[in-house]
């Protein structure tokens, strides 16, 4: 798709400039530079996946990787909570960019709260397993305290982050973890019920204090106004435009990373146009089919699922 690219998109004139490719009848990307840049990132991503998969064959290194993921996730969650508590207007307390490119949905090091929520859900779920391991394998009290603290920080970050889908998925993950490991934890804590009750009470009070500091009322307000926003959310309109473009994507799609330049073309040609600039569809599966087609989308699904 990259080496046989059909064109390059001219952003100044909003036109596709044709390229001389070596196999005209064969599918090719509609924008060579964007797809080439995406494929470099994709190759690096696949290399990291292979590296981690190979290293994880060793139980020692698997646990070390798990520790690193937990600590990194906890540190990013802690950064996000600090930013929320201090009311910063930009990542790392930098001055906000000028209007109209002002970013209002950032959390920690992520510009978009949906991406932050996905990362936090991966982090806290793995940290929860480290907490369970610490309490069921006779670990040192300091180890239990550390992983419990990291777990609480990451869970608090999911609540403080304003991504509702991430919060819904976190609830489903929590239910699954409780169903899988709840009886195991209860058996291990049965000998010290008073200690467990006192610990739960202390954790509850700490979470209440934390909620006041990190302005937890902001995500709660988003949930309260959700019923009014669902029918008017622009993402429904964008998805309809993408569905109209899907038949033209074919087996191999328009090319990796090309949604941002393909979408305006179909948006202008439709009757119900969507305002604004859309770099992402906010529907990852449909965007994958547009960029990679049915063949590429199937291969990605086989890899990840």
From first to last of its 305 residues, the chain has per-residue pLDDT tens of: 999 999 999 888 888 999 988 888 889 999 999 999 999 999 999 999 999 999 999 999 999 999 999 999 999 999 998 888 888 888 888 887 776 556 678 899 998 888 899 999 999 999 999 988 888 887 888 888 899 889 988 988 888 888 888 888 999 998 998 888 878 777 766 555 555 565 666 666 666 656 655 566 666 666 666 556 666 677 888 898 999 999 999 899 999 999 999 998 888 877 777 887 888 888 889 999 999 999 999 999 998 88
| Residue 242 structure tokens | 């993408």
Contact (CB, 8 A) for 39 and 2: yes
| Residue 67 structure tokens | 């520790």
Distance, in Å, from the CA atom of 224 to the CA atom of 222, rounded to the nearest integer, reads: 5
| Residue 268 structure tokens | 């202008």
Distance, in Å, from the CA atom of 31 to the CA atom of 20, rounded to the nearest integer, reads: 13
What letter does residue 274 receive in the DSSP assignment?
A: P
Q: What is the DSSP string of 191-253?
A: GGHHHHHHHHHHHHHHHHHHHHHTTTHHHHHHHHTHHHHTTT-HHHHHHHHHHHHHHHHTTT-
């Amino acid at each position: 798709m990259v080496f046989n690219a059909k064109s390059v998109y001219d952003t100044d004139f909003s036109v596709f400039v044709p390229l001389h490719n070596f196999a005209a009848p064969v599918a090719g990307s509609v924008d060579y530079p964007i797809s080439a840049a995406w494929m470099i990132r994709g190759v690096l991503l696949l290399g990291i996946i292979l590296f981690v998969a190979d290293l994880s064959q060793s139980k020692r290194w698997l646990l070390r990787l798990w520790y690193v993921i937990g600590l990194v996730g906890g540190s990013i969650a802690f950064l996000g909570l600090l930013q929320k508590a201090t009311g910063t207007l930009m990542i790392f307390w930098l001055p906000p960019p000028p209007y109209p490119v002002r970013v209002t949905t950032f959390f920690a090091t992520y510009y978009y709260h949906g991406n932050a929520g996905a990362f936090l859900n991966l982090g806290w779920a793995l940290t929860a397993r480290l907490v369970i391991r610490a309490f069921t394998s006779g670990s040192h009290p300091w180890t239990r305290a550390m992983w419990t603290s990291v777990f609480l920080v990451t869970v608090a970050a999911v609540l403080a982050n304003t991504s509702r889908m991430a919060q819904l998925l976190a609830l489903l993950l929590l239910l699954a973890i409780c169903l899988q490991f709840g009886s195991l934890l209860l058996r291990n804590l049965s000998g010290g019920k008073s200690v467990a009750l006192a610990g739960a009470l202390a954790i509850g009070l700490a979470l209440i204090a934390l909620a006041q500091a990190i302005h937890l009322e902001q995500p709660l307000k988003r949930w309260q106004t959700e019923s009014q926003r669902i029918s008017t959310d622009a993402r429904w309109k964008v998805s309809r435009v993408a569905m109209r473009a899907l038949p033209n994507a074919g087996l191999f799609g328009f090319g990796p990373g090309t949604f941002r330049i393909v979408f305006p073309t179909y948006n202008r040609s439709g009757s119900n146009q969507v305002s604004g600039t859309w770099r992402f569809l906010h529907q990852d599966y449909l965007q994958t089919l547009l960029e990679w087609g049915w063949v590429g989308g199937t291969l990605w699904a086989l890899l990840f699922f």
